[in-house]
Structure 1
Amino acid sequence: MVFDAASHGTVNPSDSTGGTLRFVRTDDFDSLDPADTYYAYTWNFIRLLGRPLVGYGTGEDGRPQLVPDLAASLGEPSDGGRTWTYRLREGVRFEDGTPVTAQDVRYAVLRANFPEEVYPGVVTRGGPAYFRQYLTGPEGIGTPDEHTVVFRLKEPFAGFDYLAALPTTIPVPQRADTYPEYRWRPVSSGPYRIGEYLPGERLALARNPHWVRESDPVRTALPDAVTVRLGVSGPEVDRMLLAGEADIDLAGVGVQPETQDRLLADPAAREGVDNPHTGFVWLYCINQNVGPLRDVHARRAVQYATDKAAMRAAYGGEPAGDIATTLLPPTVPGHESHDRYPVGPDATGDLDAARRELALAGLPEGFRTRIAAREDRRKEWNAALGLSRGLARVGIEAEVVPFTSGGYFTETAGVPAYLREHGIGIVMFGWAADFPDGFGYLQQISDSRAIKEAGNQNLGELASSEIDTLLDTGARTFDAQAREALWAAVDREAMEAAVMCPYMYVKSVVVRGGRAANVRMSQVYGMYDYATISLRG
């Protein structure tokens, strides 16, 4: 066994059945209701309970591959990509033995994306609402028979299968919808059903006797049962994994810093450790409508003066991630290596290039701005301090202003008017895709039409008609290679505008318990693939 083995293949392959797979977690799920979840680990885990129309497998190149799940095949596009048809597999049943129908899928999508059609007075749910954005409306979901679902879109969208893979297409029988209590006891269409759920304490899954292995290309469901112990402290999670009292940390974000240092220093312990890319990128955004940063050369000076090595050190150094030079991480289709603003072989900055850009901006002595960072996220805060120190070397005085995570996007950093009013030109940020596609990563942070008065994610207020056109073209392009080339072009154009500076492709240091079998990383969720993990025989 070698360090990081699960990032490059399957660890402990086995076809043994039986036993109880044990997860552990510091807090609870955000929600087991597929309409109300937005945590990556819940999306990964909830597949044991429910089957969306489309799922993910692993292609020969190791990258995620869309596969039919509840549907018998991937979506059938027509009308130039404005209509998508899915036909359900025969014989899929809920835990009570009743057949899953197209109407159950339609109801699931409605309650997640058009809740006002289902629940009086409810206008939003907690999960993604892409269907609301692209469907013609509630009437855009048709069910011509019990086995067929038809989606009608406002405009062509070539990547619609990615939307069909979201938890919001997991079927929900209307007769069993107990919203808002449905989150505690969703009805199973997957291999396991809820046996016991004590929120904040414990979840136990038992087999769904009506699940048929031969009809499921995504899940192996080899264990007899699955348990999750909730509300455990971070150090205790690490102790349980290392002591053999648990098999997998549900959150998948990595061990505590003190545990990390100890594990990486021990050659024997490293064999049970993986260090995968999570799909996240740590970056900061430069608002092009604030003070001197209106000038592209001032923004480029900031890019060149960035000490990315110091910023990475704030997260724990090399095990925490790789130095980033692109918006798209290596795990997302469309990633192409390029480096518009090289900061030297040691990643500490190119100060001469920064000074040349300052001169072009008419600011040879530098300028003042402010950096927004979440003080309750200590690593982010320390990275912001490292950024400030790096900029000061060329005369850019950047005061780090403390904020809290609560309301960061809805009330302060994600409100363009607030940034302008308070002279905040730089915002610390992190980003990952809702689905493994360049559109799913780039659109919200680079499309001018995505800029919002509050809750804004296009924090640099990037407004480029060329980028908007590239995104629109990519959305309706069916050829995968051509589509990926368009995402790479968006990445390059956005970097040319210098409104975002990626500094780290994020990695985690995670431990797998010694009993765990069939362990492999999922690039979709940035953690172990919970649909295939089992126990050694």
Structure 2
Amino acid sequence: VGATPTDAAVGEGAIWVTNAAGDSVSRIDPSKKSVVQTVSVGSSPSGITTGNGAVWVSNSLASTVSRIDPTTNQVVQAVPVGNLPVGIVYARGSIWVANTGDDTITRIDADSGEPKKPLPIAATELAYGAGTLWATQRTGNRVVRIDPQSGHVAQSIVVGNGPAGVAFGSGAAWVANALDGTVSRIDPATNSIQAVIPVGNGPIAVAATARDVWVSNQFDGTLARIDPRTNRVTHIRVGNRPQGVALSGEHVLVSVRQSGAGHRGGTLTVRMNDFFDSIDPAVAYGPSSWSILRMTNDGLVAFNQAGGLAGTQLVPNLALSLPGPTDGGRTYTFRLRPNIRYSNGRPLMAADFRATFERLFKVGPPVTYYEGIIGAAQCKQRPRRCDLSEGIVTDERAKTVTFHLVAPDPEFLHKLALSFTYVLPSGTPPKEAGTEPLPATGPYVIASYRPHRLIRLQRNPHFREWSQAAQPDGYPVEIRFVIGGTSDDAVTDVIGGKADVFSSSLSQRPPSKEKLAELTTRYASQLHTNPQGATIGLFLNTRLPPFDRVDVRRALNFAADRAAALRALGGPNVAQVTCQILPPHFPGYRPYCPYTAGATIGGRWTAPELAKARALVAASGTRGMKVTVWSWGDHLPTLGPYAVNLLRSLGYRPELKIRSGVDYYGAVGDPRTKVHVGTVEWITDYPAASGFFYGTLTCKAANWARFCDPRLDRQINRALIAQATNPDAARGLWERIDRQSVNEAPWVPLVNRNAVDVLAKRVGNYQYSPQSGVLIDQLWVR
């Protein structure tokens, strides 16, 4: 099968395996024990089931379910479902799909393939048994039983931390608690926990029969067998990161990521034309710099270094586990992993973390994420005298690091996963590193840095792999980032074998339309496109006429031809149209578009409504006004002319000003500039909905639209508070906030950006994470 199989199912005369990185499903002939067909499906397939003469696949980054006809091995339907579908099961004549991004379950009629109204029930994975559906709720640490007839929750049962896979067999429901390393056994007659069974590190999937229960442990490379008569556990080592489990007669099938044995070595060359702002974790603030530092340095927590939806999950890194907050949400205590050394041979010490944060304030961070630590306010005022001894308490003997916050911060763990907090040895000089590399803890070190030309990584001789999830060992011996030229130049080098990787997320622009056309027609197997968490559009200055009127702002949204904007930006490989500020695959996202001609299809845009837009402008009395449009020439050069045409179509007199360089946003953010309309691309630092609202649309933020609605601010604050205690409720609040922001129209959202990755033929093991992009160090050089 593919290099990164995720799930497996048995039925319709075959074994079916989803390949997340390949966007495909492998059909295995059980008698030949070989792949006989590969079927292309949607982006990042995760769950799979069989039923009613078909194979059904949940595509987590496409928000669809693919229906495969097993007689033709072709997708005959792509059924739209909710946000981030994962779990899928066939039961009672229907397909049930767990939409993890919007806390719903979609029921699909297995005959017609028509989706029904979603059930407002959070779910991660699904199973059927004892007459009910069983749904794990990862954020709530619960399992719920659902009556398939009424669609109502019949029972809610508290289980362990991070429940993932679920199965029914041997008269019980079995739930894998991924964060606890246990399986909960539930009696369906009493809805009580009969046993909590330790099984291994990172249990993720479960399959059950009358005689055995099988559990895959993704982080210790084992398959655990539970004897349901005694709850005793035995283990079978299966290798690198097992995932889904399925049963075929007397055989147990487990999908295992392809082993890296035999693939280590070689030099990987990455071509790019974006520049690194810094190699110093304290100040580096760009996707290119972060892609480097992720491979060289570490913090207490990290995002899972895995492809697909799993890449957005927090995992412990230099800490042994993810702590829950205490003291009313104001204290976090981390216990450190033992025997970790820097690249200079120096051992990692607990005191290094306090020193790292004090250095961060002395150097001057570009963000305000850590100002809630006790003592940080004084450090911001007097950086040279920064003292965080009350806010960060370390204990060398206990190997603990404790953070004390002024107030609860529900996103504190996410912030600790960013490169600003990557630990450095105590005594590291409190000045930006420049071109001199700093000590590293990760699998690579920066061997040399020539600004605007080359960065070269080599293996860290003191690295040992402590977590496959947080910081897996890399495959290439050396990684070279060659900087310069155009995106088309870089792609040409990759196709010609002079380089190995190009990624638009590491470059100023995607390839040209002509180059993309060449890729899709001649080199499709080397081209990968995946959705990024980025929104591109126009901001409207709500303090200046005519955009101080909501009817005029809505008029621009009605008039916007988003298909034309998509063409201007490069076409469907580069982006996908939207009416919303919040991108797909973020918590709280649900398609919504009130600015489309005719009836919207599933909340999605279909065509502009120009007549309605012109009527709104005429009623406002603002037709003919002069409007100043600012465009970011470096990254969005085609969007300025698009905005000019849009405004002219409504009778305004626009004047275009193009500004290049990193100071574009500083210029348009200055009230003295008096910008009416500006081009904007916004991407958050971590996968939380708050990043698209708190810093861009709240009254206290210096947002470019000068938008202020105290009601929206109060909702945002409520959602942030709920995020810490009730993530499921928070998703509902973010959905309402997103819709209200669309209705108030301070922006004209146009498209969500895709990442365009191109690989040389000799490169394998491609994986794309929505948070980290292409996992460069996990690529193989054949």
Alignment partner of 1:532 is 2:778: yes
Q: 1:185 aligns with which of 433, 437, 453?
A: 437
Give the distance between the partners of 2:307 and 2:764, measured in 1 at CA.
20
More helix by share: 1
In structure 2, the partner of 1:142 is 392
In structure 1, the partner of 2:236 is none
Q: How far 1:281 sits from its partner (Å)?
A: 0.9
Q: 1:108 aligns with which of 350, 353, 356?
A: 356
Give the distance between the partners of 2:543 and 2:554, measured in 1 at CA.
15
1:312-391 alignment to 2 at 5 Å? 312-343=566-597, 347-361=606-620, 363=621, 366-374=623-631, 376-377=633-634, 380-391=636-647
Alignment partner of 1:128 is 2:367: yes
Tell me, what secondary structure is at the counterpart of 2:613?
Answer: helix
Answer yes or no: is the 8 Å Cα contact 2:669–2:704 preserved in 1: yes
1:455-470 alignment to 2 at 5 Å? 458-470=703-715
Alignment partner of 1:171 is 2:423: yes
Give the distance between the partners of 1:142 and 1:73, measured in 2 at CA.
18
Q: How far 1:402 sits from its partner (Å)?
A: 3.0
Give the distance between the partners of 2:423 and 2:483, measured in 1 at CA.
29
Q: How far 1:265 sits from its partner (Å)?
A: 2.4
In structure 1, the partner of 2:564 is 310
Q: How far 1:260 sits from its partner (Å)?
A: 1.6
Q: 1:8 aligns with which of 27, 44, 58?
A: 44
Q: How far 1:178 sits from its partner (Å)?
A: 7.2
Q: 1:496 aligns with which of 730, 739, 743?
A: 743
Tell me, what secondary structure is at the counterpart of 1:372?
Answer: strand
Give the distance between the partners of 2:423 and 2:311, measured in 1 at CA.
27
CA distance 1:22–1:258, change in 2 (3 Å): same
1:61-100 alignment to 2 at 5 Å? 61-62=309-310, 64-100=312-348
Tell me, what secondary structure is at the counterpart of 1:143?
Answer: strand
Tell me, what secondary structure is at the counterpart of 1:24?
Answer: strand
Answer yes or no: is the 8 Å Cα contact 2:334–2:401 preserved in 1: yes
1:228-247 alignment to 2 at 5 Å? 228-234=480-486, 235-247=488-500
In structure 2, the partner of 1:522 is 769
Tell me, what secondary structure is at the counterpart of 1:278?
Answer: strand
Q: How far 1:3 sits from its partner (Å)?
A: 13
Q: How far 1:247 sits from its partner (Å)?
A: 1.9
In structure 2, the partner of 1:445 is 696
Q: How far 1:435 sits from its partner (Å)?
A: 0.8
Q: How far 1:142 sits from its partner (Å)?
A: 1.6
CA distance 1:406–1:25, change in 2 (3 Å): closer
Q: 1:292 aligns with which of 533, 537, 546?
A: 546
Give the distance between the partners of 1:257 and 1:3, measured in 2 at CA.
27
CA distance 1:375–1:70, change in 2 (3 Å): closer
Q: How far 1:145 sits from its partner (Å)?
A: 0.3
Q: 1:418 aligns with which of 673, 681, 691?
A: 673
Higher relative contact order (CA 8 A, sep 6+): 1
After superposition, the C-alpha distances for 1:95-137 in whole angstroms (9 at most, x for unaligned) are 233221222122222222x21xxxxxx6x34x43311256552
After superposition, the C-alpha distances for 1:402-423 in whole angstroms (9 at most, x for unaligned) are 333353222x31112321xxxx
Q: Which amino acid aligns with 2:348?
A: V
Structure 1: state its 5+ residue gaps. 116-121, 452-457
Give the distance between the partners of 2:597 and 2:267, measured in 1 at CA.
50
Give the distance between the partners of 2:606 and 2:626, measured in 1 at CA.
23
Tell me, what secondary structure is at the counterpart of 2:593?
Answer: coil
TM-score w.r.t. the length of structure 2 is 0.61
Tell me, what secondary structure is at the counterpart of 1:289?
Answer: coil
Q: How far 1:35 sits from its partner (Å)?
A: 0.6
CA distance 1:427–1:70, change in 2 (3 Å): same
Answer yes or no: is the 8 Å Cα contact 1:34–1:167 preserved in 2: yes
Q: How far 1:276 sits from its partner (Å)?
A: 1.3
After superposition, the C-alpha distances for 1:152-196 in whole angstroms (9 at most, x for unaligned) are 223211121110101122111133437333652110111122333
Give the distance between the partners of 2:435 and 2:325, measured in 1 at CA.
33
After superposition, the C-alpha distances for 1:303-329 in whole angstroms (9 at most, x for unaligned) are 211222222221112222111111111
Answer yes or no: is the 8 Å Cα contact 1:3–1:273 preserved in 2: no
CA distance 1:177–1:513, change in 2 (3 Å): farther
Alignment partner of 1:259 is 2:515: yes
Give the distance between the partners of 2:484 and 2:552, measured in 1 at CA.
47
Q: Which stretch of structure 1 is more off in the superposition, 497-506 or 289-298?
A: 289-298
Q: Taking every aligned residue pair, what percent have the same amino acid on both sides?
A: 25
Structure number with greater Rg is: 2
Tell me, what secondary structure is at the counterpart of 1:274?
Answer: strand
Structure 2: state its 5+ residue gaps. 3-18, 24-42, 47-255, 380-387
TM-score w.r.t. the length of structure 1 is 0.87
Q: 2:302 aligns with which of 34, 55, 63?
A: 55
Give the distance between the partners of 1:130 and 1:246, measured in 2 at CA.
37
After superposition, the C-alpha distances for 1:351-393 in whole angstroms (9 at most, x for unaligned) are 23213423553x2x7242424333633x734323223323333
Q: How far 1:26 sits from its partner (Å)?
A: 2.9
Give the distance between the partners of 1:59 and 1:224, measured in 2 at CA.
18
Q: Which amino acid aligns with 1:529?
A: L
Q: Which stretch of structure 1 is more off in the superposition, 58-67 or 80-89?
A: 58-67
Give the distance between the partners of 1:51 and 1:74, measured in 2 at CA.
15
Answer yes or no: is the 8 Å Cα contact 2:372–2:407 preserved in 1: no
